[in-house]
């Protein structure tokens, strides 16, 4: 008897591979990005079928949603800069030179070797090998939450998670410090309908994001997924020009970026003492502390992702800088 | 609240970075105090390691493999000490080298995040955690690369980011397969694992990712432009410290999961030899001083891998010490050299090697510093570089692997040749008729690079204690 899901799985696997090939071979960058977004959505489905709903949510919200928005924004910017010839000369945007064959062959050899390594590592792998499952199940009662993934991310291995939030912080600092003399590419002209759409959907997105965060302690969801969904609020606000970043908002934004990392690291240090080491939450307060950390990390992730979408520190452009390379 | 020294080493720079970011006007002060405090934390940790051998903290109270443990032994401590010590002097050098307000504001948070990441690598015992740490390092390092804001720096920074992320991705894929096979991610798990073909393939993926990040020939393509176009303190950090993090992980991994075949060890040595020769030739051809110094980093990385491979598979139990000595020697000397090169460029207004002797300004002390650092990098006694090279060749000779000795000798001659181009520019031969300007030949800003250069020479006299310190707590081999 064939499992009815088998057909779905086969279709899904085939579609993911076909979309990956289509994304890589698409000539038009816009088409490639749209294909990539579809690829992400189908991969999210694949994660669901692999019983990894947490990864599926992250893939859909971050890997597809936010990444797709970032890619489209970049494309818009590139087309704007490359599209005006005067600007092109001013900023030294040179036409792409063809890649020499030797480099292509070297790349192909490198990729071939990597694929070979992947194949060997994969073909010999045990199916359903050992993992943390038993260890996690044993330690769950002391974790303060009811969902295994959240327990691993925010208690057992919270050090890793803290440092992942730090990665995001490093990213936004690195982006902000790149000074761009040229003014921003003008936002696409959004009609009244879009502004109305934004007004209607914003409250719904806030509810969904908060729900994802809240559910995280007992079911799939959590800070990264919730934060990415809430970041969509920021992206919509930016796109519809309901919010325009201003230099005077910088201080607040900086606090927003570090809030999550600061509280996370601060709690990790404050719980020490009396025989407890860093990150060792007292079991009776574990749930409260984890929710506190998750909530504030969500805020930081949302603010940071929205700022990454905006892509620059909102500095006051002086008249003489507006048209020149700094 | 009682915080152990290991946690302090990690969290001090993290909080410093956040403070320097939210209070940009006070960034310089916050940065200096933080780096100084981190040096203090490393010192405290060193005292603990001297007393107890290896120190271990299971974070969150969860034992590995479920949780993540921090572990410090002689080797980690040597790396931490190099990072915070060199970092402190580079920070002092940065006070003068960063003129632009924007650079001064952003240098500190990025550098402190970089310090957090590197300290995390040296204390890490969990391969997934190491992946997260190299991501922190990568983003902060790319930020520092493009800090100068020039078009070349931005282009080099983008290339660096592609290479760095590709390397991290390869590493992560390897980590995934290791977890699939072993069901755990800690070093102890690797040490207990039964060797198998699939596990070796996973290890190979991780190692290739690390080689890309540490820029071993022929995966060095991103390094020269990135290191040559950054501002001087950023170059010093990138060249002296950042590439060492991936090298350190390489040393650890190859000890806990030994390379399965002698041919692979030889191959790594051969890539190192390629780096020494190719990098040497490119340094001879470089037109700019900073580019020459960047190519010399490619050479030195190659040399470290030759030290790793010097006595084949059997010799690995000793060879890591030669590699570690060269890592320390290069870290100190290269930071001095990049800071000195930056000083020379600041004073002359250019760093074109051909025109070094055509200026009527003569930054004597910076040139002297550069020459001192070159002595350690060439490997003349009594510098730490000499001890490193000597240990390399001694081991190779004892094992009868004369080819590594020959390559090292050729590399040394090449380095004498390309540094001579610079020295010839320092000696004026009176090509400038104009009187030497009012420049007095030295400035307060020369103190930091000079201290580093003197350290790179004088640490060679302390080679014996350094070597015995490296072995504390069974740095490699026996775990934990």
Question: pLDDT tens for residues B2-28?
Answer: 788 899 999 999 999 999 999 999 999
**Helical H segments across B183-242, by residue range:** 187-192, 197-214, 223-229, 232-237
User: Which chain A residue has the Cα nearest residue B173?
Assistant: A118
Give me the sign of the Cα torsion angle B70, A269, A174, A75.
Answer: positive
Q: Spell out the residues 6+ positions from residue B48 whose beta carbon is closer than 8 angstroms to its own.
A: B5, B55, B72
Please give the pLDDT value at position A93.
47
Q: Tell me whether residue B259 is exposed, middle or buried, using C-beta atoms within 10 angstroms of its C-beta: 0 to 12, 13 to 18, 19 or more.
A: buried
Number of domains in chain A: 2
Quick check: is B420 in a domain? yes
Q: Nearest CA of chain B to the CA of A200: how many Å?
A: 34
SS3 for B239-268 is HHHHHHHHHHHHHHHHHHCCCCCHHHHHHH
Quick check: is A119 in a domain? no
pLDDT category, A234, cuts 50, 70, 90?
A: confident
Tell me, yes or no, if A159 comes closer than 8 A to chain B by beta carbon: yes
Whats the size of chain B, residue-wise?
480
Quick check: is A229 in a domain? yes
Quick check: is B156 in a domain? no
Tell me, yes or no, if A105 comes closer than 8 A to chain B by beta carbon: no
Tell me, yes or no, if B11 comes closer than 8 A to chain A by beta carbon: yes
Tell me, yes or no, if A122 comes closer than 8 A to chain B by beta carbon: yes
Among A70, A96, A122, give the residue marking a domain's end. A96
pLDDT category, A62, cuts 50, 70, 90?
A: confident
Q: Nearest CA of chain A to the CA of B3: how many Å?
A: 7
pLDDT category, A147, cuts 50, 70, 90?
A: confident
Pick from B116, B139, B198: CB nearest A171? B139
B 81-120: CB under 8 A from A: 102, 105-106, 109-110, 113, 116-117, 120
Tell me, yes or no, if A278 comes closer than 8 A to chain B by beta carbon: yes
Task: Say yes or no: A86 and A146 in one domain.
Answer: no
Among A96, A121, A149, give the residue marking a domain's end. A96
Please give the pLDDT value at position A323.
39
Average pLDDT of chain A to the nearest whole number: 82
Quick check: is A110 in a domain? no
Mutation choice for A interface testing from B57, B63, B66 by most A CBs within 10 A: B66
Residue B69 DSSP one-character state: E
**pLDDT above 60: residue A326:** no
C-alpha to C-alpha distance for A3 and A5, rounded to whole angstroms: 5
Q: Tell me whether residue A15 is exposed, middle or buried, using C-beta atoms within 10 angstroms of its C-beta: 0 to 12, 13 to 18, 19 or more.
A: middle
Quick check: is A122 in a domain? no
Q: What count of other Cβ atoms lies within 10 Å of the Cβ of residue A74?
A: 13
Tell me, yes or no, if B22 comes closer than 8 A to chain A by beta carbon: yes
Quick check: is A63 in a domain? yes
Please give the pLDDT value at position B282.
94
Task: Say yes or no: A275 and A231 in one domain.
Answer: yes
Residues of B in contact with A156 (CB under 8 A): 60, 62, 66-67
Q: Tell me whether residue A134 is exposed, middle or buried, using C-beta atoms within 10 angstroms of its C-beta: 0 to 12, 13 to 18, 19 or more.
A: exposed
Question: 0.90 cut: is pTM over it?
Answer: yes
Which residues face B55 on adjacent strands? B72
Question: Could you read off the pLDDT of B149-194 as tens digits, one per residue?
Answer: 888 898 999 999 999 999 999 999 999 999 988 888 988 888 888 8
Quick check: is A118 in a domain? no
Task: Say yes or no: A155 and A266 in one domain.
Answer: yes
CB contact under 8 A, B21 and A277: no
Task: Say yes or no: A56 and A6 in one domain.
Answer: yes
Average the pLDDT over each of A160-174, A208-222, A244-258, B97-111 and give the range with the smallest value: A208-222
Please give the pLDDT value at position A81.
64
Quick check: is A117 in a domain? no
Range of the domain at A175: 132-326
**pLDDT above 50: residue A86:** no
Quick check: is B55 in a domain? no
Q: Spell out the residues 6+ positions from residue B230 whose beta carbon is closer than 8 angstroms to its own.
A: B144, B145, B146, B147, B148, B153, B156, B238
Task: Say yes or no: A88 and A146 in one domain.
Answer: no
Task: Say yes or no: A71 and A137 in one domain.
Answer: no
C-alpha to C-alpha distance for B152 and B281, rounded to whole angstroms: 23
Task: Say yes or no: A64 and A166 in one domain.
Answer: no
C-alpha to C-alpha distance for A247 and A203, rounded to whole angstroms: 27
Tell me, yes or no, if A96 comes closer than 8 A to chain B by beta carbon: no
What number is the average pLDDT over the span A24-38?
A: 90
Please give the pLDDT value at position B438.
54
CB contact under 8 A, A278 and B184: no
Identify which of A108, A106, A105 has the alpha carbon closest to the alpha carbon of residue A116: A108
Q: Give the orientation angle of helix B101-123 with respect to helix B127-145, to 10 degrees.
A: 160
B 207-236: CB under 8 A from A: 208, 218
Number of domains in chain B: 1
Quick check: is B206 in a domain? no
Q: Contact at 8 Å (CB) between B136 and A163?
A: yes
Please give the pLDDT value at position A319.
46
Task: Say yes or no: A137 and A232 in one domain.
Answer: yes
Task: Say yes or no: A88 and A138 in one domain.
Answer: no
Quick check: is B294 in a domain? yes
Range of the domain at B277: 263-480
B 386-415: CB under 8 A from A: none
Quick check: is A265 in a domain? yes
Please give the pLDDT value at position A187.
64
The number of angstroms, rounded, from the C-alpha of A239 to the middle of its chain's C-alpha atoms is: 18
Tell me, yes or no, if A118 comes closer than 8 A to chain B by beta carbon: yes
Tell me, yes or no, if A264 comes closer than 8 A to chain B by beta carbon: no
Q: Contact at 8 Å (CB) between B306 and B273?
A: yes
Please give the pLDDT value at position A226.
84
Q: Contact at 8 Å (CB) between B18 and A258?
A: yes
Integer distance in angstroms from the first to the last C-alpha of chain A? 68
Integer distance in angstroms from the first to the last C-alpha of chain B? 27
CB contact under 8 A, B198 and A136: no
Residues of B in contact with A321 (CB under 8 A): none
3-state helix, strand, coil in chain A (%, to 5): 70, 0, 30
Q: Contact at 8 Å (CB) between B18 and A261?
A: yes
Pick from A117, A166, A170: CB nearest B204? A117
Pick from B1, B146, B183: CB nearest A178? B146
Tell me, yes or no, if B129 comes closer than 8 A to chain A by beta carbon: yes
User: pLDDT below 50 — which residues of chain B?
Assistant: 479-480
């Amino acid at each position: 008897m064939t499992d009815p899901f088998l057909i779905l799985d086969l279709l899904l696997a085939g579609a993911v591979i076909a979309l990956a090939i289509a994304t890589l071979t698409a000539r038009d960058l816009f088409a490639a990005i749209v294909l990539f977004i579809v690829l992400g959505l189908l991969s999210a489905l694949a994660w669901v079928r692999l019983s990894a709903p947490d990864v599926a949510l992250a893939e859909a919200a971050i890997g597809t949603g936010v990444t797709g928005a970032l890619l489209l924004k970049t494309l818009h910017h590139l087309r704007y800069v490359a599209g005006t010839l005067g600007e092109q000369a001013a900023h030294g945007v040179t036409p792409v030179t063809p890649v020499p064959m030797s480099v292509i062959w070297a790349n192909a050899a490198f990729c071939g070797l990597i694929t070979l390594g992947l194949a060997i590592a994969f073909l010999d792998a045990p199916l359903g090998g050992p993992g943390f499952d038993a260890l996690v199940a044993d330690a769950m009662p002391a974790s303060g939450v009811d969902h295994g993934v959240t327990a691993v991310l925010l208690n057992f291995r919270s050090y890793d998670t803290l440092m992942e939030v730090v990665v995001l912080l490093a990213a936004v600092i690195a982006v902000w410090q790149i000074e761009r003399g040229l003014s921003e590419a003008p936002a696409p002209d959004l009609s009244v309908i879009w502004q109305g759409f934004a007004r209607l959907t914003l409250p719904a997105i806030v509810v969904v994001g908060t729900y994802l965060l809240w559910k995280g302690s007992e079911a799939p969801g959590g800070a990264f997924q919730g934060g990415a969904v809430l970041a969509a609020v920021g992206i919509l606000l930016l796109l519809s020009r309901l919010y325009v970043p201003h230099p005077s908002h910088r201080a607040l934004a900086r606090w927003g970026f570090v809030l999550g990392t600061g509280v996370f690291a601060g709690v990790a240090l404050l719980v020490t003492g009396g025989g407890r080491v860093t990150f060792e939450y007292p079991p009776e307060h574990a749930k409260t502390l984890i929710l506190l950390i998750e909530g504030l990390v969500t805020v930081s992730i949302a603010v940071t992702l929205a700022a990454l979408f905006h892509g620059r520190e909102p500095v006051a452009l002086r008249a003489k800088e507006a048209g020149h390379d700094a | 609240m009682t915080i152990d020294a290991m946690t302090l080493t990690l969290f001090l720079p993290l909080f410093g970075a956040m403070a320097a970011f939210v209070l940009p006007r006070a960034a310089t002060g916050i940065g200096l105090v933080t780096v100084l405090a981190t040096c203090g934390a490393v010192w405290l940790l060193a005292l603990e390691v001297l007393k107890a051998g290896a120190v271990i903290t299971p974070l969150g109270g969860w034992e590995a493999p479920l949780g993540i443990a921090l572990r410090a032994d002689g080797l980690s401590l040597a790396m931490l000490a190099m990072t915070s010590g060199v970092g402190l002097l580079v920070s002092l050098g940065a006070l003068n080298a960063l003129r632009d307000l924007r650079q001064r504001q952003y240098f500190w948070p990025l550098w402190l995040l970089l310090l957090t990441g590197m300290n995390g690598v040296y204390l890490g015992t969990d391969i997934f955690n190491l992946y997260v740490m190299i991501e922190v390092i990568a983003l902060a390092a790319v930020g520092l690369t493009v800090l100068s804001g020039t078009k070349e720096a931005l282009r080099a920074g983008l290339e660096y980011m592609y290479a760095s992320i590709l390397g991290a991705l390869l590493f992560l894929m390897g980590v995934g397969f290791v977890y699939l096979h072993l069901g755990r991610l800690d070093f102890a798990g690797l040490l207990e694992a039964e060797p198998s073909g699939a596990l070796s393939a996973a290890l190979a993926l991780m190692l290739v990712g690390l080689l890309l990040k540490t820029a071993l020939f022929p995966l060095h393509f991103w390094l020269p432009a990135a290191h040559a176009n950054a501002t001087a303190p950023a170059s010093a950090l990138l060249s002296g410290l950042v590439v060492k993090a991936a090298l350190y992980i390489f040393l650890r991994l190859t000890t806990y999961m030994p390379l399965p075949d002698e041919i692979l060890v030889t191959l790594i040595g051969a890539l190192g030899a390629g780096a020494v020769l190719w990098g040497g030739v490119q340094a001879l051809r470089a037109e700019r001083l900073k580019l020459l110094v960047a190519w010399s980093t490619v050479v030195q990385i190659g040399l470290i891998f030759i030290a790793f491979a010097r006595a084949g598979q059997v010799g690995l139990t000793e060879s890591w010490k030669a590699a570690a000595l060269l890592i320390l020697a290069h870290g100190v000397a290269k930071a001095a050299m990049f800071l000195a090169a930056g000083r020379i460029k600041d004073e002359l207004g250019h760093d074109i090697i051909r025109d070094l002797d055509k200026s009527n300004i003569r930054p004597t002390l910076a040139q002297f510093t550069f020459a001192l650092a070159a002595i350690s990098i060439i490997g003349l006694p009594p510098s730490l570089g000499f001890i490193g090279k000597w240990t390399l060749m001694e081991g190779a000779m004892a094992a009868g692997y004369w080819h590594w000795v020959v390559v090292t000798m050729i590399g040394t001659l090449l380095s004498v040749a390309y540094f001579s181009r610079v020295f010839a520019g320092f000696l004026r031969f009176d090509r400038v008729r104009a009187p030497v300007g009012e420049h007095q030949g030295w400035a307060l800003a020369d103190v930091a690079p000079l201290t580093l250069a003197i350290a790179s020479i004088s640490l060679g006299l302390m080679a014996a204690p350094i070597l015995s310190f490296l072995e504390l707590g069974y740095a490699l081999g026996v775990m934990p």
